[in-house]
Amino acid sequence: MKKITVLSILVLLAVMLSACGSSGLPKEMLDTTWEWQQLSETLPASQSMIANSANYTLVFTPDMLYSAKADCNMLSGEYEISDNTLTLKAGPSTLAECGAESSYNQYVTLLSQVDGYRLENGKLVLTFGNGAGEMIFANVGKAQ
């Protein structure tokens, strides 16, 4: 009887862990291309749509890595997750000059300040700077 109970608990734990993915992120966040569409800041309060949003993408993988397109550059790194706390650690990056109209510097800076996340109405919301603002991403499909 004890063996059946222990086995049942182990099976239940395995099912629960697989629902979240091995990374701790919700399954729907993983291996998905997220496109940065909006920036919301608290001080001063402002909201802006991202021009050329297809140039700013983010992908999380189950092995605790992320990759991002930042205009004319690519970057990658590791992420750490605990409850709804998310930290992105910078890794390798290309360093091409993207031009005066680029949001490359802002995007990379904000990603380095990410401290939380949530899924809301099919969108990914990354919070940054201890309440300073939010980056809002749309799901644009399965990562390539």
- Averaged over 114-121, what is the pLDDT? 97
Residue 7: which pLDDT band, with cuts at 50, 70 and 90? very low
- How high is the pLDDT of residue 18? 40
Q: Report if residue 128 sits inside a domain.
A: yes
Has residue 137 been placed in a domain?
Answer: yes
Domain membership of residue 46 as a residue range: 23-142
**Domain holding 77: CATH number?**
2.40.128.270
Domain assignment present for 11: no
3-state secondary structure of 48: strand
CA angle 57, 61, 63 (to 5 degrees): 145
Judged by average pLDDT, the poorest of 82-86, 116-120, 136-140 is 82-86
Cβ(24)–Cβ(30) under 8 Å?
A: no
Q: Would you give the distance in Å from CA 49 to the centre of its chain?
A: 18
* Per-residue pLDDT, 12: 37
CA distance 29 to 43: 28
Domain count, the chain: 1
In a domain, 17, yes or no: no
pLDDT at residue 3 in the model: 53
Per DSSP, the three-state class of 122 is coil
Q: What is the reported pLDDT for 144? A: 84
